[in-house]
Amino acid sequence: MSVIRLLIVDDHPVVRAGLRGMFETDPGFAVAGEAANGEEAIERVASERPDVVLMDLQMPVLDGVEAIRRIRRSPGAPPVLVLTTYDSDAQILRAIEAGAAGYMLKDAPRETLFGAVRSAVGGGSPLAPSVAARLMHRLVPSPSARGDALSGRELEVVALLAQGASNKEIAHALHVSEATIKTHLSHIFEKLVVTDRTSAVTRAIERGLIELPRG
């Protein structure tokens, strides 16, 4: 497996140093650079071309949400994984709507964070359990809000998406081709009225269609 190159974005030097030290203990990761605010992050993404961005939210000059939005507009943009101490409903939804691939908290165990980064690079949508719980309880689903019902197989696909699985991993788990998974995703996006994987997971959680595993 090729080495995953990260860009660490946080306005606290101690946090950046800690994350750099942690990721550099694993040969599967390399820190491509650091940034202290959203504006610097955009510049570093353009110059360093990382495989993934770890993005804090509360920063000076340009906050994380706006930085995510601008980075994701660029052709060939890397996935952006939020890594923050904030798990309010508003922060979570703003980040996801801006295009974040996932949302993790800074108290996540080392291996959990490593797995979340690998998942984001592989096309997954990792969410911290507490974040998933907040999304699940944010809205009380009603029949009029559900739209077209998802089939049993589509629910299986969304549940695996919520666990951070890539198309290849979902196809393997369900014993079908990747092309079939892409077709299922197209139908899921249409039924949930969304345009990407992370939003599909968020919408499914909000409507009570799936529940993420705890821990």
Q: Each residue of 81-126: pLDDT tens digit?
A: 999 987 677 788 888 888 999 999 999 999 999 999 999 999 888 8
The closest of 45, 81, 41 to 62, measured between CA atoms, is 41
Distances 171 to 115, 153, 168, 188 between C-alpha atoms, Å: 19, 12, 5, 15
pLDDT of residue 91: 81
| pTM, 2 dp | 0.67
Q: Which residue has the tokens 């369900």?
A: 174
> For the chain, which domains are there?
4-135 (3.40.50.2300), 140-206 (1.10.10.10)
pLDDT band with cut points at 50, 70 and 90 for residue 39: very high
pLDDT band with cut points at 50, 70 and 90 for residue 144: very low
Among 46-60, 71-85, 143-157, which stretch is predicted with the lowest mean pLDDT? 143-157
pLDDT at 137 over 80: no
Range list of H helices, 88-177: 89-98, 110-121, 129-138, 152-162, 167-174
Please state, rounded to an integer, the average pLDDT across all residues of the chain: 87
pLDDT of residue 134: 65
